Amino acid sequence: MASSSDFFEIFGAEPGALTGVSFARYMELAMYHPTAGYYTRDFKRVGRDNRADFFTATSFNPVFGELVVAAAVKLLGPAKPADYTFVEIAAEPGAGILRDIAHPFAAYQPISYGQPFVFPARSVVFSNELFDAQPFHRVVWQDGRWQELGVALHGRHLRHVVLPEFSAELAAHANRLPKTAEENYHIDVPLRTVPLLERIVGQKWSGLFIAFDYGKYWQELAENIPGGTSRTYHRQKMGNDLLTRPGKQDLTCHICWDWLEDGLGRAGFGESRVDSQESFFMNYAAETLAAITKAEASSFSLRKRMLIQLLHPANMGQKFQALHALRK
């Protein structure tokens, strides 16, 4: 297992690390470095116990998987599920949502982090909290202009710094930023979600795209959340110290639904829609919900508790959303 000292040696070898690199580059190293990255090291990240850093909807299998299957079948409309392969992107090893679940699809194909994307000609492409795990840039409005926040190494300590100019990646998309803002307004800019989507939908396959994640529309990110949306997760606790435990805690921010909807449109998908997780399952998996509720009516069973976690607005029902679209 890589240690913090391993990460500092890696970061210290980065060109410009002493004076500062973009937060996106720091996050890229902290999350995806081959030996020191959070998602590349072999340890338990996802689960409901204290050994894991966070839990996702997949932690509530098999109920979550059953609901996703039911919704996908309904969204495919008259098409036969047996003609489609269900592809899950970024499945945790040994923990895909259809593992050990009966389903009507031709096959189930999980793709783990780092594996190439390969999609059969007819696919249902599913992801859960994939897009929020992508490196993002951070900007702040100061002295009448947007400035990019980066990370620098001072001795053995990582510190936030203001970069002298935009990094090349951010500069190429600077026109997305508002023309003005309140002093010290922060935006965490999820630029890498767009090329990731293009890698997925740019391939020639037809079928259904479903992505569960947490995000907001650009206007809200740019105007109504002055502190930004970046956060950390470690041992089931959310925090905001982005530079502690590099490679050993999750780093994330809200994604921008507008950008993904635009990308689906450019790739030839029909009308896309973003629903709360609660609404998504109520609209597209109602029969399965009713069956589970009826079967568990006489007791406060584990399956019923899973439903409450997935659907209740105070739990995951409103905190997470589902983006879906169909390409024929």
> Tens of pLDDT along 13-41?
999 999 999 999 999 999 999 888 888 87
Mean pLDDT of 205-211: 98
Residue 1, pLDDT above cutoff 50: no
Of 1-5, 87-91, 232-236, 271-275, the least confident: 1-5
**Token pair for 92:** 């945790």
What is the pLDDT at residue 2? Answer: 39
Residue of higher predicted confidence among 91 and 54? 91
Residue of higher predicted confidence among 63 and 46? 63
Residue 187, pLDDT above cutoff 90: yes
What is the radius of gyration, based on Cα positions, of the chain? 20
d(CA 234, CA 218): 27
Say which CATH class 44-136+196-214+254-328 falls into. alpha beta
d(CA 197, CA 131): 8
Mean pLDDT of 185-196: 98
Cis preceding linkage at 15, omega within 30: no
Sequence ranges of the domains in the chain:
44-136+196-214+254-328
Q: Per DSSP, which regions of the chain are E strands?
A: 21-22, 85-89, 107-111, 122-128, 137-142, 145-154, 157-162, 186-189, 206-213, 215-216, 231-234, 237-239, 250-252, 255-256, 273-276, 321-327
What is the pLDDT at residue 315? Answer: 80
d(CA 183, CA 10): 35
Sign of the torsion formed by the C-alpha atoms of 153, 171, 233 and 108: negative
CB–CB of 26/138 below 8 Å?
Answer: no
The secondary structure element, H or E, covering residue 310 is helix 302-311
The secondary structure element, H or E, covering residue 311 is helix 302-311
What are 141's strand-pairing partners?
Answer: 146
d(CA 39, CA 179): 36
Residue 57, pLDDT above cutoff 70: no
Of 20-24, 46-50, 66-70, 77-81, the least confident: 46-50
Give, in order, the Cα–Cα distances in Å from 229 to each of 42, 82, 215, 222, 224.
Answer: 27, 40, 9, 11, 11
